[in-house]
Amino acid sequence: MRLTFLGATHEVTGSCFYLEACGAKILVEYGMEQGVDRFENAPIPVAAGEIDHVLLTHAHIDHSGKLPVLTKQGFAGQIHATDATTDLCGIMLRDSAHIHEFEAEWRNRKGKRADREPFVPLYTMEDAEAAIAAFVPHPYNEKFELVPGVEVRFIDAGHLLGSASIEVWVTEETVTKKLVFSGDIGNLNQPIIRNPSYIEEADYILTESTYGNRNHAGERPDYVRELAAIMQRTFDRGGNLVIPSFAVGRTQEMLYFLREIREKNLVTGHDYIVYMDSPLAVSATNIFGENGMECYDEETMAMIRQGVNPISFEGLRLAVSSEESKAINFDPTPKVIISASGMCEAGRIKHHLKHNLWRKESTVLFVGYQAANTTGRAIVEGAESVMLFGERISVKAEIAQLTGMSGHADHDGLLAWIEHFTQKPEKVFVVHGDAEVCDAYAEELREKGFDAVAPYSGTQFDLAAGEFTYIADGKPIKKDYATQRAENMFQRLVAAGKRLMDVIERNRGGTNKNLAKFASQIESLSDKWDQ
């Protein structure tokens, strides 16, 4: 029985681990790498067609996103996940395939004019459909035999609808070892879904460490009251509230809050409408309803027993077609618009920003993390204007945030999870965190008496003998990292150019002498760099 670390080692995304046990070849997750990759992932050591089974903790793309690559390369086994994860992957992998195909079409349209080689998408809709067909759903807490000698159970991780930690028992001859893959551990007291469940026994633990070095700031805010206050002042001004939101998870939380606001009449004087403008979010919301009996927390289930739908209410309208989406901004009624993408980089949200960012009456409310070099990040950091569809749009709307919203356990939550084990495991492997965080969290666990280590991709561990058979060094992706740094610097230059345009606009109406001097300085600077 041997475990090989392939991805999400000293990095947050690209989760992937390879388990050889009882003659079976088992992959635990196969996620997409997102953002800046500092270290190389190790390749799967066998052909895709040789893999017998995949175990999946949850539907987020950094855990599931490369499963269609596996089927494209010949995988013909089964993918095991919870019922809700199976349903969510059915829409999320199709959506991911659509994005890859669209990007390939766009690149090839441009490349053809430049006589470039055709760009091949990472995978197609056909590959995604093959992966979806391989899913085998399981309820929480059901222990099942994967192959003779290997048993598996999914335990609620409280991170996303259907998310799970995975318990794996491996027995070869007279030796039995239990592994626990944490998946992403959820934050406490999230709306709709339950808190993470605790596990008491394990020989080996693989724990995520996303927030392994920090806590969510301060006490949990009263999101309902904060959101109601933002809505009230926005509608009082005659504006719209635009919420860029991730389609799966965060959107449903916002609907939960909005239902309570409507129920308690916390916004007065306005007959407002709430639009959910995202086909993926609409599908995901339906899946939430279908899986409520197994996934909802007691508070939400109490609503259902009283005949209340926790994520639906009077005045909620769904926009699926592009025509329905376009019509939203021609409706004069005060409104809340929830749309994707959550970082304003693509999708329908860009249209709603174009119609509302320049309006002092409106508000744009951010409810999730905004990565560097995204439109959302620029707006949050105070950009005076942004480019949308080739047009510069001034940022005059109120910009607000609901801070502290996270589906991840923070430092204290991670410690509470691992310290619930009644006995110290033989070893703890710290994964799924930035390099510095993995090392720091492993060190802290060692100080607390755990035998903890943060492995790099390619490391192999003999589970029966309890020893490493190969210890890999981290291999930095120098070229890609340097390219990213260069891109970051270029974005800084772009931001400076945008600021210059704003300064030019503010000088409209100045004296001829000053304007001529300003123009000469710009022309001189342009001549210097246009070489």
Whether 245 and 367 have beta carbons less than 8 Å apart is answered as: yes
| 514 belongs to a structural domain | no
In a domain, 434, yes or no: yes
For residue 261, give Cα distances in angstroms to 224, 243, 265, 312, 322: 7, 16, 6, 12, 28
* Whether residue 258 has pLDDT greater than 50: yes
Same domain, 227 and 156: no
State which of 401, 416, 439 marks the end of a domain. 401
Last residue of a domain, one of 474, 491, 523: 474
Main-chain dihedrals φ then ψ at residue 142, nearest 5 degrees: -90, 120
Same-domain status, 156 and 59: yes
Residues 410 and 264 in one domain: no
In a domain, 516, yes or no: no
Residue where a domain stops, chosen among 352, 372, 401: 401
Identify the H or E element spanning 520: helix 512-529
Parallel/antiparallel/unpaired status of strands 452-453 and 427-431: parallel
Domain identity same for 45 and 185: yes
Residues 440 and 350 in one domain: no
Q: Where does the pLDDT of residue 521 fall: very low under 50, low under 70, confident under 90, or very high at 90 and above?
A: confident
Q: Give the percent of the chain with pLDDT over 70.
A: 95
Phi, psi (degrees; rounded to nearest 5) at 366: -95, 130
Mean pLDDT throughout 337-345?
Answer: 89
**Same domain assignment for residues 378 and 454:** no
* Same-domain pairing of 146 and 288: no
Specify if 48 maps to a domain.
yes
pLDDT tens readout for residues 371-429: 767 899 899 999 999 999 889 999 999 999 998 788 999 999 999 999 999 999 999 99
Has residue 220 got a pLDDT over 70? yes
Q: Looking at the predicted structure, is the pLDDT value of residue 484 above 60?
A: no
Torsion-angle region of residue 158: left (phi > 0), alpha (psi -120 to 50) or beta? Answer: left
Q: List the single range of 109-123, 228-242, 317-331, 457-471 with lowest mean pLDDT.
A: 109-123
Mean per-residue pLDDT for 494-520?
A: 80
Which stretch of 184-193, 306-315, 471-480, 504-513 has the lowest confidence by average pLDDT? 471-480
pLDDT above 90: residue 106? no
Does residue 237 or residue 115 have the better pLDDT?
237
The reply to whether 515 falls in a domain is no
- Expressed in percent and rounded to 5, the helix, strand and coil fractions of the chain are 35, 20, 40
Distance, CA of 142 to CA of 15 (rounded, Å): 24
Please report, for residues 106, 242, 389, 401, 461, the alpha-carbon distance to residue 379 in angstroms, rounded to integers and kept in the order given.
27, 13, 16, 11, 46
In a domain, 512, yes or no: no
Q: State the pTM of this model.
A: 0.85
Structure token digits, residue 58: 């949850």
pLDDT of amino acid 492: 62
Query: What pLDDT sits at residue 133?
Result: 98
Task: Verify that 188 and 237 share a domain, yes or no.
Answer: no
The pLDDT, as a whole number, for residue 530 is 66
- pLDDT range class, residue 490, cuts 50, 70, 90: low
Say which CATH number the domain at 49 has.
3.60.15.10
CATH number at residue 304: 3.40.50.10890
- pLDDT, average across residues 87-110: 89
Give Cβ neighbours of residue 72 (< 8 Å, ≥ 6 apart).
123, 124, 127, 130
Residues 485 and 470 grouped into a single domain: no
What's the whole-number mean pLDDT along residues 95-101?
89
CA–CA distance, 479 with 457 (Å, rounded to integer): 18
- Say if residue 139 is in the same domain as residue 238: no
β-strands 363-366, 460-462: how paired? unpaired
pLDDT at 19: 98
Instruction: Give the DSSP letter of residue 39.
Output: B
The answer to whether the beta carbons of residues 19 and 26 sit under 8 Å apart is yes
Q: Is the same domain home to 12 and 147?
A: yes
Mean pLDDT of 481-509: 68
Per-residue pLDDT at 478: 55
Structure tokens at 52: 């017998």
Lowest-confidence region among 94-98, 466-470, 515-519: 515-519
Total domains present in the chain: 3
If asked whether residues 183 and 122 sit together in one domain, one would say: yes
What is the mean predicted confidence (pLDDT) over 269-274? 96
* pLDDT score at 115: 74
Range of the domain at 287: 223-401
- pLDDT > 50? residue 481: no
Give domain status of residue 314, yes or no: yes
Q: What is the spatial distance between Cα 294 and Cα 287, in angstroms, rounded to a whole number?
A: 12
pLDDT over 80 (residue 120): yes
Residue 117, pLDDT > 90, answer no
Distance between CA atoms of 108 and 450, rounded to whole angstroms? 52
Q: For residue 411, give Cα distances in angstroms to 188, 189, 208, 214, 416.
A: 12, 15, 11, 5, 9
Strand partners, 151: 145, 169
Residue 531 belongs to a domain: no
On whether the CB atoms of residues 385 and 498 are closer than 8 A, the answer is: yes
Residue range 31-40, pLDDT digits in tens: 998 766 788 8
Averaged pLDDT for residues 366-372: 81
